[in-house]
Amino acid sequence: MARNLVPKGLTSLLFILVLATAVHLTKATELKETNLSLYFQDISAHGAANATVVPVAGVAGKAWTFTQFGTVYVTDNYITETSDPNSAAVGRGQGMYVTAGLDGLNSHVMISLVFTNDEYSGSTIQIQGISKQFEPVREVAVVAGTGKFRFARGYATFETHFLDIPTQYAIIRCNVTVQHY
């Protein structure tokens, strides 16, 4: 008969230790879901000193507009808690938009939500995808995140909340749903 080389008490202790480690690892890998509603303060007046969206490249000999295929815009929009431009700052929306549809209806969005508020300061959410520019609600993918949104995956929707064509000022509501660790 083979002898048990592990003392009785130690076997129970090892079993409890393995079980506790398994429970801890399971909880450590549970995804959290976060839902955010943010407002981009978008100023795209060409040549304006306070513009937050500017065209930087386009097709030679063609007007650089949101509907002209190949036009590239760079953005650094203020993001606020509410639609009021004087409401609390949440962060910045920094990135690029490219009019990617030959018909001028779609733009490719590559933008980072860079948080500066107390709750998420230093964290980011990366958004990318085709945005159907003239749809009431445009949906794009959340492809990554950092800080409190590490390994984020999900989606974001954009809705034009306010638009003043003469001043080229818009307030864009962004709803973000992400799962992250």
H/E stretch holding 114 reads strand 106-115
pTM to 2 decimals? Answer: 0.83
In 3D space, the residue among 54, 169, 154, 162 whose CA is nearest the CA of residue 113 turns out to be 154
pLDDT in tens, the chain (181 residues): 556 665 666 666 666 766 666 555 555 568 999 999 999 999 997 778 899 999 999 999 999 999 999 999 999 999 999 999 999 999 999 999 999 999 999 999 999 999 999 999 999 999 999 999 999 999 999 999 999 999 999 999 999 999 999 989 999 999 999 999 8
In 3D space, the residue among 169, 174, 163 whose CA is nearest the CA of residue 80 turns out to be 174
How many whole angstroms from its chain centre is CA 115? 10
